[in-house]
Every structure is written in structure tokens, then in C-alpha cells.
């Protein structure tokens, strides 16, 4: 019968889920009969007509079972079975002997050669099928198990590769901290061989290591934490660790990623030291500034106060002189005396402004009270009554809030802003609109006029002490807006201006709640 592959297949039997069965008989009609009985099982049947042929096939194929005729010329079934068993590949292949004789001697010899069963002629198809089916199932289960084992092995290989590729030392432990797996970085970091790490308690490396909450098998990725660690030689080092747990059929496993934080700890210590030095220097500088500020404030206060007296004397004496010389002074001398008086009065005014500025700058320390801003604007307008009437000015004021603040600085603030709005008026009668709006951070007040306006390049400049833009046309000290800014800043707020020259200006004041 020669070549015996009777079923042409495209896929390999393993892929198609079929297994191979070898039928060996020197009698072709027997072979055909066996084939006809086993065909309905749907497996791949291979036929051999003598022992030699059967042996050759066993070298090339793995069979789920071999049906071996006992009586064959040249090499009988038993001899063939002996040779099959002698080969590694077919050592475990189940052999069923087919025989017409039911003798104990044959049975004994057959079982001794590793036969798993005997089939006696005449063959009962159902019995043959069900016996062979057992081996088919066995082979299938075996194949399945092998495949699973291969899958597992490759998954483990992938897992180990990932572990090795990790930038940190990785240690996998059970709940008690006993190390199950470690990557090569862990060896390097701790100075142990990997074999020495496996089975060891992680606490000998990281004494403060704790198992993450076991009631939470899939906790969110844990935050990094700093722990003290020990190398094999006992030397300590700071370690940055992150833990993650995962549930396996063998229980909870914990992956701990460990990084040597020595450099980081050094850098942190250095930063801390620099910060401390900086803080110390800032404190020293602040103290020095506070000292010189206080000295300057005292000097400005003393100067503005002590200069009052000599100025008053200059004014009084120049007035006496003009009275004494009544009628005898020429117009030139009279003018000179009047100029002395005027400038002395102006000096007095400037010193007054300076004192007010210093007072306002110091007012922030006082406790806040409840201030009705409507009343504040009324008080400011009352103080400016004459100016308002003289200029035919109109004041429109929206309802304003009641806030926690200081009344006096607020009155000074509104008074300065309203008086400026009138002073720096245009040809039109002054119209001043006051409004307030609430924002998340506090209140913003707006004082809008229809005056001559301010060039944007001076928006910041005008808030400085003695800064004036229209000094020659309008009287003033140039301190009003500086006082406003000092008052607002002392209350924790901010003042700024928006303006279009020729149209008018709006001063905004924001005060925190």
C-alpha cells in the first residue's frame, strides 16, 4: 500500500483540532476495515502495512494512538511495539494490540511492552470507536494543556522583559513582604544577587515597607513615598518607592518600584539650606529697610512740623514790615513783600500736605469699622460745597455699599478725587459720576469726570508725591493723588486711572472685601 496519507488536508491536524491515528496491519482488507470503522471519528488516519513502515511514521509524526496487529510477517506486533517504545518520540504513545487469539501469554507479553489495551477479532465497531475516542480525547486535552503552558510561559517571559526594562528597581512580594521576583536593577541597587533576593523579607531592605490595604485589591496608583533603605553591606540610603498590588490566584502580590533618592535628597538639602540663607538675608534686608523707612518717616514728619514755625515767622514779619512801612514802600518793594508772603503760604500748604500724606500712610494699622460709602461721599461733598457751587458742578452718585473700612481715609480719598474732577474741568460745567460694582475680590468704585483729561503716558506718574501736570494753570501741591494712593494701599486696595485727553477721566478704586 505504500504512501498512506489518505486524507488531504490544508491545515495541520493540530490547527484543525484533529489528531493522528496509526493503523498497522499486513492485511490490506483488515486495514480498510479498521479505516472504515474509525473514519466517522473525523481524525487523521495513517496506515502502515508492516512494522518498518510503522516505525518510520512514528519518527515523523506524533500519534494519539497506534492500533497494531499482533501477527505480521518479518516483524510482528510485539517486536514493532518494542521498537516504538525504544524511541523517545513515541515512548508515551498508547498502543492497542489487535489480535485474533485470546492467550494469557500474549496478553502478558503485550502489557509488558506497554500496551494500553487489546482488541480481539472479530472487531466490534462501537467498542473500537469508543476505545479509540478515549485516546483522541486524551491527546486533545494534552494538546490544550501544552498550548496553555506555552501561553503561560510566553506571558511570563513578556512580564519578565517588562520588569527588566523598568527604569527602577522592581521587587514583587506577597502580602507578608516575601520577595517572589526582582529585576536586575534591584540586584544592583541593593548589592544582593537575585537568587539571594528571592524568598527574602523586603523589610530587610526597606524596614518601614508596608503592604497596601489588602481590602482594596485594585487601589489607585499610590503616591511616591520616601523610605530609608539598606544595602547588602548595611549602608543606608534614602529610597523613593511606589507600590501597586494585584490579585492573583495565589493571593495578593505587591509590586514595589524603588529608586535611589540620594541625589534628590542632597539637592533638597541644598535647596533648603539656600532657602534658609535667603530667608535670613531677606529678613535682615527687611529689618534694615524698615529701620531706614521709619527714620525717613520721622525725619519727614519732624521737618514738616519744625519748618512750620520759621515759615509762620517769615509770614508774620513780612506782614509787620508792610504795616510798619505803610505808605512809605514803593510799589516794587510792596510786590517783593507780597511775593515773600505768597511763597511762605505755599510752603506752609506743601508741608501741610506732606504731614497729611505721612498720617494717611500710617493709618493702616487701625481696626476697620463699618463705613457707609454714601455717607462718605456726602461728607466729602459737604467739605467741597463752596467749590461745587462756584463751578456749577453736578455730582451724580449711584447707591454705594456699606463696607468694613476706615472712614477718614475714605473721605480724604473721595474729597481729593472730586475736587480734582472740578479743578481740572473743561469749558463745560463739571459733571461727576460716582458708581460702584461688586466683584469676586471686593468692590470697585469709579469717579468719572468730563474734565480736560490726562495723557496716558502720565497715568502712573501723577500718583507720585509732588507730581503735577497742570501746575502753571491750577493751584495745588501735587500731593492729593499720592495721598489717595497711600490711603487705598493701606486699605489693601489699588487705584488707577483711565482717561482720554479732552474728554474726561475716570479714577477707579478697588477695595478688597
Using alpha carbons, select from 196, 269, 263, 267 the residue that is nearest to residue 231: 196
Q: How many helices (H) and strands (E) does the chain have?
A: 15, 17
Examine residue 26 and tell whether it contacts ligand ADP (CB under 6 A): no
Nearest CB to ligand ADP, comparing residues 173 and 416: 416
Q: With binding defined as CB under 6 A, does residue 361 bind ligand ADP?
A: no
452 lines the binding site for ligand ADP (CB under 6 A): yes
> At closest approach, how far in Å is the CB of 480 from ligand ADP?
3
Count of residues binding ligand ADP (CB under 6 A)?
A: 22
Task: Identify which of residues 378 and 468 has a Cβ nearer to ligand ADP in the complex.
Answer: 468
Beta-strand relationship, 65-69 and 20-24: parallel
Stretch that binds ligand ADP, among 66-74, 201-209, 219-227, 415-423 (CB under 6 A): 415-423
The interface with ligand ADP within residues 288-317 (CB under 6 A) comprises: none
Edge-first strand order for the sheet with 251-260 is: 179-182, 169-174, 251-260, 236-248, 225-230
CB of 391 to ligand ADP, least distance (A): 13
Q: State the nearest-atom distance from the C-beta of 331 to ligand ADP, in Å.
A: 31
> Terminal CA-to-CA distance of the chain, rounded, Å?
107
Using rule CB under 6 A, residue 415 touches ligand ADP: no
Q: Which range in 33-41, 196-204, 371-379, 450-458 contacts ligand ADP by CB under 6 A?
A: 450-458
Per CB under 6 A, does 171 bind ligand ADP?
no
Residue 357 is a binding residue for ligand ADP (CB under 6 A): no
Are residues 318 and 341 in contact, defined by beta-carbon separation less than 8 angstroms? yes
The site map against ligand ADP for 453-472 (x = CB under 6 A) is: xx-------x----xxxx--
- Could you tell me whether strands 44-48 and 115-120 are parallel, antiparallel, or unpaired per DSSP bridges? unpaired
Calculate the alpha carbon distances from 3 to 7, 72, 253 in Å: 11, 19, 56
Count other Cβ atoms within 10 Å, centred on residue 11.
9
Q: Is residue 238 part of the contact set for ligand ADP (CB under 6 A)? A: no
Measured from the CB atom, the residue of 209 and 507 that comes closer to ligand ADP is 507
Please tell me the number of Cα atoms within 13 Å of 512 on its side-chain side. 7
Does 387 bind ligand ADP (CB under 6 A)? Our answer is no
Q: How far is the CB of 321 from ligand ADP (least distance, A)?
A: 30
Grid coordinates 500519534 are at which residue? 63
DSSP state of 461: G
Give the nearer residue to ligand ADP in terms of CB position, either 254 or 495.
495
Look up residue 141 and give its three cell numbers.
486535552
Among 90, 173, 477, 510, the residue binding ligand ADP under the rule CB under 6 A is 477
Sheet holding 504-512, edge to edge: 394-397, 431-439, 442-448, 504-512, 494-500
- Residue in 38, 241, 373, 481 binding ligand ADP, rule: CB under 6 A: 481
Core vs surface per residue 476-498: b (16+ CB within 10 A) or e: bbbbbbbbbbbbbebbebbbebe
Among 451, 485, 486, 491, binds ligand ADP (CB under 6 A): 451
Query: Among 61-69, 147-155, 391-399, 474-482, which window interacts with ligand ADP (CB under 6 A)?
Result: 474-482
Q: Quick one: which segment of 114-122, 260-268, 437-445, 452-460 binds ligand ADP (CB under 6 A)?
A: 452-460
449 binds ligand ADP (CB under 6 A): yes
Residue placing its CB nearer to ligand ADP in the complex, 356 or 416: 416
Minimum distance, C-beta of residue 498 to ligand ADP, in the bound complex (Å): 11
Using rule CB under 6 A, residue 1 touches ligand ADP: no
Joined grid coordinates for residue 339: 511775593
User: Whole-angstrom Cα distance, residue 399 to residue 420?
Assistant: 22
Helix ranges restricted to H, 99-247: 104-112, 125-165, 184-190, 194-197
CA–CA dist 43, 28 (Å, integer): 20
Q: What are the residues binding ligand ADP (CB under 6 A)?
A: 416, 420-421, 424, 449, 451-454, 462, 467-470, 476-482, 505
Amino acid at each position: 500500500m505504500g504512501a498512506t496519507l489518505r486524507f488531504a488536508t490544508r491545515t495541520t491536524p493540530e490547527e484543525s483540532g484533529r489528531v493522528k491515528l496509526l493503523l498497522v496491519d499486513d492485511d490490506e482488507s483488515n486495514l480498510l476495515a479498521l479505516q472504515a470503522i474509525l473514519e466517522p471519528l473525523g481524525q487523521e488516519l495513517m496506515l502502515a502495512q508492516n512494522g518498518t513502515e510503522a516505525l518510520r511514521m512514528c519518527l515523523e509524526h506524533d500519534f494519539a494512538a497506534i492500533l497494531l496487529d499482533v501477527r505480521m510477517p518479518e516483524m510482528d506486533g510485539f517486536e514493532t511495539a518494542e521498537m516504538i517504545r525504544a524511541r523517545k518520540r513515541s515512548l508515551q504513545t498508547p498502543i492497542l494490540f489487535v489480535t485474533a487469539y485470546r492467550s494469557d501469554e500474549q496478553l502478558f507479553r503485550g502489557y509488558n511492552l506497554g500496551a494500553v489495551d487489546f482488541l480481539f477479532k472479530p472487531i466490534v465497531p462501537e467498542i473500537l470507536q469508543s476505545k479509540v475516542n478515549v485516546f483522541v480525547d486524551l491527546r486533545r486535552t494534552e494538546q490544550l494543556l501544552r498550548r496553555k503552558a506555552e501561553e503561560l510561559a510566553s506571558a511570563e517571559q513578556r512580564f519578565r522583559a517588562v520588569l527588566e526594562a523598568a527604569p527602577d528597581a522592581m521587587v514583587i512580594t506577597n502580602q507578608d513582604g516575601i520577595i517572589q521576583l526582582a529585576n536586575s536593577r534591584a540586584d544592583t541597587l541593593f548589592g544582593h544577587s537575585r537568587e539571594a533576593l528571592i524568598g527574602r523579607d523586603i523589610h530587610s531592605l526597606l524596614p518601614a515597607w508596608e503592604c497596601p490595604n489588602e481590602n482594596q485589591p485594585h487601589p489607585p496608583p499610590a503616591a511616591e513615598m520616601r523610605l530609608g533603605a539598606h544595602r547588602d553591606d548595611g549602608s543606608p540610603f534614602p529610597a523613593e518607592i511606589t507600590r501597586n498590588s494585584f490579585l492573583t490566584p495565589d493571593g495578593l502580590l505587591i509590586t514595589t518600584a524603588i529608586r535611589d533618592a540620594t541625589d534628590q535628597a542632597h539637592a533638597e538639602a541644598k535647596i533648603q539650606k539656600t532657602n534658609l540663607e535667603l530667608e535670613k538675608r531677606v529678613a535682615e534686608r527687611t529689618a534694615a529697610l524698615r529701620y531706614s523707612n521709619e527714620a525717613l518717616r520721622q525725619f519727614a514728619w519732624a521737618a514738616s512740623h519744625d519748618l512750620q514755625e520759621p515759615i509762620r515767622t517769615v509770614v508774620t514779619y513780612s506782614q509787620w514790615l508792610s504795616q510798619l512801612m505803610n505808605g512809605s514802600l514803593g510799589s516794587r518793594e510792596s510786590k517783593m513783600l507780597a511775593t515773600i508772603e505768597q511763597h511762605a503760604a505755599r510752603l506752609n500748604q506743601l508741608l501741610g500736605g506732606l504731614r497729611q500724606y505721612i498720617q494717611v500712610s500710617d493709618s493702616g494699622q487701625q481696626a476697620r469699622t463699618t463705613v457707609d460709602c454714601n455717607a462718605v461721599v456726602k461728607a466729602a461733598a459737604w467739605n467741597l460745597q463752596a467749590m461745587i457751587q462756584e463751578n456749577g458742578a453736578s455730582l451724580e452718585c449711584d447707591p454705594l455699599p456699606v463696607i468694613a473700612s476706615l472712614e477718614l481715609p475714605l473721605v480724604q480719598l473721595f474729597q481729593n478725587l472730586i475736587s480734582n474732577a472740578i479743578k481740572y474741568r473743561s469749558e463745560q460745567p463739571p459733571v461727576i459720576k460716582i458708581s460702584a460694582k461688586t466683584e469676586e475680590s471686593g468692590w470697585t468704585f469709579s469717579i468719572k469726570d468730563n474734565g480736560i483729561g490726562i495723557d496716558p503716558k502720565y497715568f502712573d506718574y501723577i500718583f507720585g508725591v509732588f507730581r503735577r501736570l497742570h501746575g502753571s494753570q491750577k493751584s495745588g501741591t501735587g500731593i492729593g493723588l499720592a495721598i489717595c494712593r497711600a490711603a487705598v494701599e493701606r486699605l489693601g486696595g489699588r487705584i488707577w486711572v483711565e482717561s482720554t485727553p479732552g474728554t474726561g477721566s475716570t479714577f477707579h478704586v478697588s477695595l478688597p472685601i
